[in-house]
Amino acid sequence: MCSSLVLSFAADCSNAPAKPYSPPVANFAKQLKHLVGYPHGCLEQTTSKAFPQIYLRDIASVLDPTILNNGSPTYFVTEAISKIASMQQPDGYFSYWPGEYSKNQWAMVYAIHFLFEVKKAGYVVSEPVLMRMSPHCGVTDEKAKLH
C-alpha cells in the first residue's frame, strides 16, 4: 500500500512547476549589515548589535560572507557581554548608558534575554552578573545557572 501511495503521489507531482527556493532569511543581508554597524553604545543598541551575531557565522555563509569582513562574530558577542556586564549596577539593574545610572526596563529585559541566550549558545557569562540580575526577571538561583 505504501509503495502505491508513493507512486500515485509522484505521478500527481510530475507536472508540477519547479520553483527555485530562496530562504526567507536571505532577504535580511542588507538589514543585518546595517544592524552590525550600529554606531551607538547604549544598552539597547549594544544588545541589538550583538544578538544576531550569536548565530551570524552560520547565517552569513548563506546570506553574504562579506558581513564577516569587519571582524569575528565571536569577538563582537564576547565584547558585548563584557560591555553589558560593565553596565550592571550593584543592585542588578543595568544602566542605559555606560557610566550612568539611568534605568530602562525594556532595555534591561532585552539585555537579560541576550545574556541568557548567549549562555545557552555556549558563551561565558559571569555567574555574579546572572545572580545579580535574577531578582529583576523572576528567575530563581537554579534557573539563573541554566543547567
pLDDT of residue 147: 38
Which residues span the domain enclosing 88? 28-144
CA angle (30 as vertex; 27, 36 as ends), nearest 5: 125
Structural domain count, the chain: 1
Q: What is the pTM of this model?
A: 0.67
- Evaluate whether residue 19 is within a structural domain: no
Q: Is residue 110 part of a domain?
A: yes
Per-residue model confidence (pLDDT) at position 30:
64
Q: What is the pLDDT of residue 78?
A: 93
| 94: β partners | 88
Amino acid code (one letter) for 33: K
Task: Please tell me the predicted confidence (pLDDT) of residue 14.
Answer: 60
DSSP 100: -
Q: Is residue 16 part of a domain?
A: no
Dihedral sign, Cα of residue 85, residue 88, residue 90, residue 92: negative
pLDDT of residue 6: 46
Quick check: is 17 in a domain? no
Regions of the chain with pLDDT less than 50 = 5-6, 140-141, 143-147
Q: Examine residue 128 and state whether it is found in any structural domain, yes or no.
A: yes
Distance, CA of 33 to CA of 68 (rounded, Å): 9
**Any domain includes 7:** no
CATH number of the domain bearing residue 54: 1.50.10.20
